[in-house]
Every structure is written in structure tokens, then in C-alpha cells.
Amino acid sequence: MKHVEKYTRQYFLPPVFMSDWVRKDHLDRPPIWCSVDLRDGNQALIEPMGLEEKLEFFRMLVEVGFKEIEVGFPAASETEYDFMRALIDRDMIPEDVTVQVLTQARPHIIKKTFEAVKGAPHAVIHLYNSTSVAQRNVVFRKNKEEIRKLATEGAKMLLDLAEKTEGDFSFEYSPESFHGTEVEYGLEVCNAVLDIWKPSADRKCIINIPGTVETAMPHVFASQIEYISKNLKYRDNVILSLHPHNDRGCAVADAELCCLAGVERVEGTLFGNGERTGNVDLVTLAMNLYSYGVDPGLDFSDMPKVRGTYERLTQMRVPARQPYAGDLVFSAFSGSHQDAIAKGMAARERETQGEPWTVPYLPIDPKDVGRNYDKDVIRINSQSGKGGVSYILQHNFALTLPAKMKESVGYAIKQVSDETHQELSPDEVYKAFRARFVDPMPYFAVEDAEFKRMGEAVVAQVEIRRGDHVSKVEAIGNGRLDAASNAVKEFFGVSYELVAYEEHTLSRGSASKAIAYVGISTSERDFWGAGINEDILTASIHALCVAVNQLPKIAAQDKSADARLTDMLDFIRKNYRNVTLETMSKTFHLSEPYVSKYIREKSGKTFGEHVTAERMKRAKGLLKNGVATVESIAYESGYANVEHFNRTFKRLFAMTPLAYRNKENGLPVDKKRRKS
């Protein structure tokens, strides 16, 4: 870049470089926290908060756990003054909370400040003046002695007015623009102020070192602080405080290293709000301690609530990548990251309570700050992989995919995201899973299957529907699914190996459903399908059909298939309970008469016949495999009127539903099946 020659380092090293802090590798206790949101943060807003907004913000800070809160600069505006008075007059300051007000080292401002804090149960009067070379030479045009005198005269005035004003007061001094100040001179001014206040064990003072404009690297700041800490007068009775800004993006590092170097108190704001690039983010500082097992003394267990209140009152937005609080800070889109997190979470579930948190890529448990695993951690887009997709399906929809199926599912879901150029919600992931592995049977379906034992073997009689033709095929296998699979192979003349089968329940209760996963393998690749049904065998055969429908040879045999008719019949199958010509018309963007005519001419059956066939298939399955009442079966099959259902069933099968149930269960057709 051009003009680099106009810049140089603008900080001063201490006369002796201090580095004892380097020997410490962590903080074992939190500093005293002081929020300056209502002063430093508020003055940086495009539209500063009004009185009631500041009161609400104050209540939030108290709720989070702040015991020291800088509430404003009362002499700067009527709003600031009125806010201080409102806190006192409305008795809103808890006994364990100290408010703090800022004042320049100028007599009329100091007087106005004490008028504002009159009657405060306890308040810190924060005095400051700038000590930097640039401010001395350019702004104030004063020498070192004159600048020191500004500070000491202000300190004397604070001491005098504190004795004359109702309330309990303590003092704080800040040499503003410390980085641009010679370290020895900054120390000299601070000690001169302390000589006036003469702090004691029961009346301590605060010396606050502000990185007003951050110009030094964090380790330089820490060395400066260690020098100040070791050379302050009345050290045992002085609380050394820090006020870092973030001009170089290192405010958090400044605060942490300076705490190692002797700082006992930190001033900052929520989410780093403040002038220019902001103040140090106290949320990040506190949560960093928390992630090391140190209680920060601030409660961010409901981070979304704190963030929401902050954003509403300040009109500022917390960035998506803001540590611990942003929308995306716990989110993993990368496939390898998602897989590691999913495995880490699974291991966590197996661990005994009290084990340290060790989930990859997650420094803390998102639940500890009010976040959600499903919505905040594993998120699916075109960069995701099998681990993340499997996690979403398991934790949101109780689908435990076979290990070998996860890769196929991961690629399929990733492809959907890639084609749509968008992130997929958990519901969209599930929808895509169903569309790829549960619902599609474009070329054939098994309408029905009956099985009987023949020695050690099983004989299957399978009805295969292909277009408008239903064929019965018989085959033998070593089990029911194997026999049904052999029937499909024989009918289509295809070859594959049944390589995987897993099943599990999806819900509990009398109406519980199960899911079956089936994997088949050819010389080219593997194909997967899944089926969901109350009856596990029905689900298994469905899963098999979905997998076999994907074979290229099956598609090649279906050259004459009518794609629109197939889609229409699939729609009827999926929506048999409430499908109408009107819904078909809206779905396929065709008129009702055209839909009716098209289905009749292409399939040889009317729309009503197709609907009735699907409903009867559902009814027969329920009658055969359960003890539900005829009334409930009629409803489940799409009939609001049980008499209509009975008439239709008897017309088609020449027997009543109950007679059919008895027949299928080996009972006399004139006897009712007893409920066990």
C-alpha cells in the first residue's frame, strides 16, 4: 500500500521491560467486572438510548450479575443526568451494586457530577484527563507539569465535594490515551493523584489504565501494566483496572494478558460495543474463563435473551461470528467437522456425568448458553457430509441410518443443497431423505405378499404392480424378505445381492411405526431404500422396492412408461385418504375433467377406482395385522362413513371386513376375532 512511510509505532515501552506475567499460562479467577455499556457504549450509538431504555438495560446488567456499572457522564446531557437521578430517586440500585459516573478534570463538570450523584448509596466518581504526547501538544497545548496539575486539582476537588455531598463515594482515576503516554509519566500522574486521595484498606481507590486507542501489541501492554502495578504507591489499597479498546482487534488478548500482569478489574461492554472499533467484549472474556472451568461470576446461560435485549435497545447487531453469541459460532457446515462433532456427541452420551467437555470443534456445550444442538450446531449445506446429515436425521426424526448407508444419504442431501444453493433446515433434510430413499417407486411396487413355510425355506407369493398391470410371482428364499427379493429378481430378470438390512422402531404405543433399511449391491454400486410402516415386513419390502427401482436395468425396461401417469398414481397412493380431483388439478396444473380423462385413458381405470384400490389395500393390511375396530380402520383408510366402507369392501371382496379378518387369521368367517 502507498503512504506507509507516514506511520510508525505510537506506544512507549517501560524503562524496564517486565515479563513475570509470561510465566503464567491461565487465569484462575475472574477480575472485577465493570460494565460501561451505559456510558462508553451508549455514546457510540447512532441513536443513544433514552431514559426508559437505559433503565431496562441497567436492569439487564444487574440480572446478568454486574456489581459495578458505569451509568453515564451526568454533566454531558440532561438524559445522562436524569438517568442518574432516576436510579437514585426510584431506589433502583441494589445494595451489592456500585454505580459509576465519569467526569473530566474540570471544575464545573465535577460540580455537576456531584449534583447528579447526591444521595447515591455508593458511587464511584471516575476522574480522567488525557496524558498522551499528542493530546498535550495538539489539543491542550500544555506541558507535563500543567497536565499533572489538571489531574491533581481535579482529585482535590473530588475529595472536597465528596465530604460535602450526601452519599457514599469512592474514586477512580484514568490517564486517558495511555498508549500514547510515556509509561513513567503516566505512572507519575497516577501516583500524584493517589498522594492526594491517600487510599486505605477501608477506602480503596481505582487506578484505571485505558487503552483509549489500541496501538501496542498485547504483550507490550502487559509489560506496561506490570511496570505500573509494581510501581504504584499505596499498592495494597489500589485496585488496578483496565479499559481496553479494540482498534487493532486485540482487546480480549490485551485484557487477558494484562490480568496476568496484575490487573484486578476490567471495564468493557457487552459484545464489544463502543467508539470506533469498540471496547473489550466482556461476554467473550467471561466465557473464555468459563471454558477453562472458572466461574466468571456473570450469568450468560440465556445468551439469546441477553443478545436480544441488547440488540433491541441499542439497535446494534451482534455479528454471526461473534464468539459465544453469534448465530453461527457453534455451527458446522463442513462434512469432516460435522462427523467429528457427531462422534464426539455420541461419546459424550456414553460418558458418566462429570467428565470434562471434550467434543471436537465445540469449546463449550452450546446448551450452557441457551443454544440448541439441532438448530445451532449441525447445519446442512453443500459442504456437509454424512456425519452431519445422519446426526440431523437421528436427533430430529429418530432415524438411525446403517453405517454403510450414511455416505449415500449424505451425498444425496448435499446434492439437494448444491442444486438449490441454500442451507437445508432439518425438515428439509427429512423431506429430501424421503424423496430419495422412501417415496420413489417410479417403475414398480409390490402390491401384496403372502408367505408360507416349506421345510426350512419360505415361499413368497408376490403381487408386483407395473403401470396398470399386476402380476403374481412365486419364489423361495431363506426368509420372508429374501423370498420377496427373489420374486422381484425373477420377474425383472435382474441380479443383485441383498447386502444390508436393519430396522428399528420410530415411536412407542399401539400405533407405533417402524423403519426398515435395505441395501442391495450390483457389480457397479450399492443402492439403498427405506420403508416406514406399522408392520415391519411391509416396511422391509417397501425399502427393497425403493432400492431395486434405482437399478438401471429396471429403468431400461420401462421405456413405455408414462411419466405423468406415474406421477399421478404416485400422488394418489401417497394421499389416498383425502385426495380429490380438485387437489389433483391444483397439483398438476390441469383441469379436473382433463385429469379424470387422462387417468382413465392411460391406465384403464377411473380416478375413483384408483383411490378405492389404494384405500382397500390400506384397509386389508390393517384388518390382517391388527385388532383395530372397523370404524377406526374405515377412518384410517379414508372413509368418513363406516357403512360406506363396509358396502364397498363387501362389493369388492364378497365378504365383510370382519369376515376377511377372520379368514386371514385362520378363524371361521362367521366368528369375531377375540381381542387378547
What per-residue confidence (pLDDT) applies to 560? 47
In sequence order, the 6+-apart residues with CB closer than 8 A to the CB of 95 are 121
530: which 3 cell numbers?
A: 427405506
User: How far lies 490's CA from each of 400, 414, 450, 454, 470, in Å?
Assistant: 31, 35, 17, 19, 15
Mean pLDDT of 332-355: 78
Return the closest-CA partner of residue 406 out of 333, 342, 331: 342
Instruction: Decide: helix, strand or coil at residue 342.
Output: helix
Report yes or no: 422 and 381 within 8 Å, Cβ to Cβ. Answer: yes
124 membership: H or E segment, kind and range: strand 120-130
558: which 3 cell numbers?
A: 420401462
Range of the domain at 653: 563-665
396: which 3 cell numbers?
A: 430430529
What is the average pLDDT value for the chain, to the nearest integer? 90
- 616-619: long-range contacts at Cβ-Cβ below 8 A with a sequence spacing of 24 or more? 616/648, 616/649, 616/652, 616/653, 617/447, 617/448, 618/576, 619/645, 619/649, 619/657
User: How far lies 153's CA from each of 110, 176, 199, 274, 278, in Å?
Assistant: 11, 16, 17, 29, 31
Number of domains in the chain: 5
Q: By mean pLDDT, which of 301-315, 399-413, 424-438, 612-626 is the weakest?
A: 612-626
- Reported in sequence order, the residue ranges of 469-597 that DSSP labels E, i.e. its strands, are 469-477, 497-505, 514-521, 526-533
> Could you tell me the sign of the dihedral formed by the alpha carbons of 231, 232, 233, 234, in that order?
negative
What per-residue confidence (pLDDT) applies to 643? 93
Same domain for 267 and 288: yes
Report yes or no: 57 and 270 within 8 Å, Cβ to Cβ. Answer: no
pLDDT digits (tens, 9 = 90+) for 110-147: 999 999 999 999 999 999 999 999 999 999 999 999 99
Same domain for 581 and 626: yes
User: How far lies 469's CA from each of 385, 466, 598, 612, in Å?
Assistant: 40, 5, 17, 17
Report how far residue 469's alpha carbon sits from residue 565's, in angstroms, rounded to the nearest whole number.
Answer: 13
pLDDT digits (tens, 9 = 90+) for 223-232: 999 999 999 9
What is the 8-class DSSP label of residue 99? E
Please check the confidence at residue 676 and state whether its pLDDT lies above 50: no
**Residues tagged in the binding site annotation for Mg(2+):** 40, 243, 245, 279
Asked whether residue 166 is domain-assigned, the answer is: yes
Same domain for 452 and 415: no
pLDDT digits (tens, 9 = 90+) for 270-323: 999 999 999 999 999 999 999 999 999 999 999 999 999 999 999 999 999 999
Report how far residue 13's alpha carbon sits from residue 211's, in angstroms, rounded to the nearest whole number.
Answer: 14
**Alpha helix (H) ranges present in 21-106?**
42-43, 51-64, 78-89
pLDDT band at 561 (very low <50, low <70, confident <90, very high): low
pLDDT band at 510 (very low <50, low <70, confident <90, very high): very low
Report how far residue 435's alpha carbon sits from residue 420's, in angstroms, rounded to the nearest whole number.
Answer: 15
Angle (CA) 191-36-228 rounded to 5° is: 25
Q: What are φ and ψ of residue 532, in 5° steps?
A: -125, 125
What per-residue confidence (pLDDT) applies to 341? 82
Asked whether residue 3 is domain-assigned, the answer is: no
Report how far residue 526's alpha carbon sits from residue 550's, in angstroms, rounded to the nearest whole number.
Answer: 10
Mean pLDDT of 51-70: 97
Asked whether residue 265 is domain-assigned, the answer is: yes
pLDDT digits (tens, 9 = 90+) for 653-673: 999 999 998 888 888 866 554
Angle (CA) 345-346-348 rounded to 5° is: 60
Chosen domain end from 559, 590, 611: 559
Asked whether residue 325 is domain-assigned, the answer is: no
Return the closest-CA partner of residue 224 out of 280, 268, 279, 178: 178
Mean pLDDT of 73-79: 90
Return the closest-CA partner of residue 240 out of 149, 174, 292: 174
Report how far residue 607's alpha carbon sits from residue 9's, in angstroms, rounded to the nearest whole number.
Answer: 83
pLDDT digits (tens, 9 = 90+) for 390-422: 888 988 888 999 999 999 998 888 888 888 888
Same domain for 81 and 198: yes
Same domain for 296 and 346: no
Return the closest-CA partner of residue 324 out of 373, 263, 370: 370
Q: By mean pLDDT, which of 215-229, 525-539, 591-605 is the weakest?
A: 591-605
What per-residue confidence (pLDDT) applies to 163? 94
DSSP codes of every residue in 566-593: HHHHHHHHHTTTT--HHHHHHHHT--HH
What per-residue confidence (pLDDT) applies to 674? 46
Asked whether residue 676 is domain-assigned, the answer is: no
pLDDT digits (tens, 9 = 90+) for 146-203: 999 999 999 999 999 999 999 999 999 999 999 999 999 999 999 999 999 999 999 9
What is the Cα 31 distance to its own chain's centre? Answer: 29
Strand partners, 640: none
Same domain for 458 and 398: no
User: How far lies 458's CA from each of 103, 356, 453, 638, in Å?
Assistant: 92, 53, 5, 34
Residue 426 backbone zone (phi > 0: left; psi -120 to 50: alpha; other: beta): alpha
Same domain for 47 and 32: yes
Please check the confidence at residue 325 and state whether its pLDDT lies above 50: yes
Report how far residue 636's alpha carbon sits from residue 578's, in angstroms, rounded to the nearest whole number.
Answer: 10
Report how far residue 571's alpha carbon sits from residue 558's, in angstroms, rounded to the nearest whole number.
Answer: 19
What is the Cα 212 distance to its own chain's centre? Answer: 34
Instruction: Decide: helix, strand or coil at residue 116.
Output: helix
Report yes or no: 383 and 413 within 8 Å, Cβ to Cβ. Answer: no
What per-residue confidence (pLDDT) applies to 459? 86
Return the amino acid letter for 5. E
The more confidently predicted of residues 396 and 674 is: 396
Taking each helix axis from N to C terminus, what angle separates 563-574 and 607-624, rounded to the nearest 10 degrees?
40
Q: By mean pLDDT, which of 96-110, 193-207, 344-358 is the weakest?
A: 344-358
Asked whether residue 12 is domain-assigned, the answer is: no
Most confidently predicted of 162-176, 434-448, 606-620: 162-176
Return the amino acid letter for 484. A
What per-residue confidence (pLDDT) applies to 601? 84
Return the amino acid letter for 445. A
Report yes or no: 21 and 218 within 8 Å, Cβ to Cβ. Answer: no
What per-residue confidence (pLDDT) applies to 558? 66
**Residues tagged in the binding site annotation:** 40, 243, 245, 279
- Whether the model clears a pTM of 0.85, i.e. scores above it, the answer is no
Same domain for 464 and 422: no
Please check the confidence at residue 336 and state whether its pLDDT lies above 90: no
What is the Cα 484 distance to its own chain's centre? Answer: 45
pLDDT digits (tens, 9 = 90+) for 10-39: 889 999 989 999 999 999 999 999 999 999
What is the share, in percent, of the chain residues with pLDDT greater than 70?
95
Chosen domain end from 530, 559, 588: 559
CATH number at residue 553: 3.30.160.270
Same domain for 423 and 300: no
The more confidently predicted of residues 168 and 490 is: 168
What per-residue confidence (pLDDT) applies to 255? 97
What is the 8-class DSSP label of residue 495? -
Mean pLDDT of 611-617: 88
Pairing of strands 98-104, 120-130: parallel
What is the share, in percent, of the chain residues with pLDDT greater than 90?
66
Same domain for 429 and 303: no
Report how far residue 68's alpha carbon sits from residue 93's, in angstroms, rounded to the nearest whole number.
Answer: 11
Report how far residue 246's alpha carbon sits from residue 276's, in angstroms, rounded to the nearest whole number.
Answer: 8
Chosen domain end from 495, 526, 559: 559
* CB burial readout 130-149, b (16+ within 10 A) else e: bbbeebbeeeeeeeeeebbb
Q: What are φ and ψ of residue 301, in 5° steps?
A: -70, -20
Asked whether residue 377 is domain-assigned, the answer is: no
Same domain for 417 and 290: no
Asked whether residue 471 is domain-assigned, the answer is: yes
Same domain for 538 and 650: no
